[in-house]
Chain A
Amino acid sequence: MRSRVSWFVVAAALLAACGSSPSTAASSPSPTPSPTLSGNISVFAAASLTASFTALGTSFQAANPGVTVKFNYAGTPTLVTQIEQGAPADVFASADTANMDKMTADGFTAGASLVFAHNQLEIVVAPGNPKGITGLADLAKSGVLYITEGPTVPAGKYALQALKAAGVTVTPKSLETSVTAVISKIELGEADAGIVYTTDVTAAGSKVAGVPIPAAQNVIATYPIVVLKGTTNAAAAYAFTSYVVSVTGQSTLTSFGFLPAT
């Protein structure tokens, strides 16, 4: 096992040097400390990955003491803008494939991206569900203050799809820039309901409550991750992405409520 892992890591490093990337292997063995990994990497990740990626970062750094991982969480379109305007990033984790395709088409990615997780939507409400929301149709009830993400944010786009599938027309009171912004406003009590990912509801714990959306109306979100062309620490960048799709990484993600990559 050890030699297979070392070989894999070295191969990844060599391939990075040639500019191509490893294939979308669904399960790779977890990495063990490699003496060649050091330095810093910057990971730009979608807001819905905040809790899970922070945890992944911690365990990755524990396994690789020479590496420091820094995270930048925001709505996916915001991250895209930042990277395209030259923000220094090594890894990009998107909440949808559309934004990832844009990055690739614009030439910012190093090789093909890896799908590392899926997610589903859930309605988020205040603890105890005081307004008695039972489904998407209730969002249009009078007396319910509904907010969502802007249409360019993956979650916002998915929310519109779900509402369409459910045949519900409702005008949100605000179009926030990320799922975390929606969660904050629900937590603060400023809004009654929003549509976020199931993982966000889990991450917010007892500060919010969730109302599930039936599979027929729900949307499966696909999360790809990629090493960026402008990376300054390819070895560590590839190591991190491999870690995310590894068994350990996947089990961490599923513990936060994500659906596994396959």
Chain B
Amino acid sequence: MRRERVPIIVAALAAIGAAFFILPLLGLVVRSPWGDAVKALTAPETIEALKLSLFASLSATAVGLVLGVPLAWVYARVEFPGRDVLRALTTLPMVLPPVVGGIALLLAFGRRGLFGSWLDTTFGITLPFTTAGVVMAETFVAMPFLILTVEAGLRSMDRRYEEAARTLGASRWRVFTRVTLPLIGPSLFAGAALCWARALGEFGATITFAGNFPGVTQTMPLAVYLQLETNQESSFILSLVLLLISLVVLIGLRDRWLGSA
């Protein structure tokens, strides 16, 4: 591909745009006290927060896959009245301020929530202040990414492969698992990775709905926020860890995200 000459204005604006993102990241790298890095990273609270974050974000991704893929399939394949409205509602958490999401979760699943009160009186189960609550908060904000990506993949795949499979005697379930899913593999992977990265970084909904307690609900982002008040430099290091994880995910996704479904 011949390199196109870049107009000056475009280059200048693009450079400013890039700087806008690179400078804060550079700031983190430069200001982090690398000497204390090991101590900060191996402190018991950090390890606890990291373990909890990994567990919760992976669980949220799993829930996202189990519930999100069928939802994406319905959006892509089934025509029904109100589909656009439903899709907008399930995509809302992407644009909603996370704290608002947390409040909404409380009103639905809190002890006095629409559904939560029933859970409490019938089973004695409360979701706020539990790790399950963290998973719920993270799923709420992260699943829309998975749904959108998978839906796009389903829409863009060549459905004739599904017809070919049917002519070969494959049941609808078999068509889905042996043909559809493998063909949308890249979208599925990208959606899951984005979902996971978003879940890992979730703060507002988590602290509002699930609260904050080490080992139970204090995820890495919460730990970073609190460390900012007590041990600033430790918070820089932890921020860097989260940043690097997200960077790895994005770099790994690069091609797939740019749509080679």
Contact = CB atoms under 8 A, between A and B. Distances in A.
Interface of A: 77-78, 80-81, 145, 147, 150, 152, 172-177, 185, 188-191
B198 interface: no
Interface string B165-192: 0000000000000000000000000000
26 contacts: A77-B229, A77-B230, A78-B229, A80-B229, A81-B228, A81-B229, A145-B129, A147-B129, A147-B211, A152-B226, A152-B229, A173-B129, A173-B211, A173-B213, A174-B210, A174-B213, A175-B211, A175-B212, A175-B213, A175-B218, A176-B211, A177-B207, A185-B211, A188-B110, A189-B111, A190-B111
A188 B112 contact: yes
A147 B110 CA distance: 15
Contacts of A78: 229
A174 B216 CA distance: 9
A190 B229 contact: no
A168 to B, nearest CB: 18
A145 B126 contact: yes
A58 B212 CA distance: 34
A173 B217 CA distance: 9
Contacts of B213: 172-175
- Interface size class for chain B? 20 to 34
Contacts, number: 52
B129 A174 contact: yes
Interface of B: 106, 110-112, 126, 128-129, 207, 210-214, 216-218, 226, 228-230, 232
A78 B228 CA distance: 8
A81 B211 CA distance: 21
A13 to B, nearest CB: 34
Contacts of A177: 207, 212, 226
Contacts of B217: 174
A188 B106 contact: yes
Contact of B212 (A77, A176, A188, A191): A176
Nearest to A126: B112
Contacts of B232: 81
B211 to A, nearest CB: 3
Residue of A152, A185, A190 with most chain B CB atoms under a 10 A cut-off: A190
Contacts of B214: 175
Contacts of A188: 106, 110, 112
Contact of A190 (B106, B216, B218, B228): B106
Contacts of A189: 110-112
Contacts of B229: 77-78, 80-81, 152
Given A77-B230, A176-B212, A190-B112, 19 more contacts: A80-B229, A81-B228, A81-B229, A81-B232, A145-B126, A145-B129, A150-B212, A150-B226, A152-B229, A152-B230, A172-B213, A174-B211, A174-B212, A174-B213, A174-B217, A177-B226, A189-B111, A190-B106, A190-B110
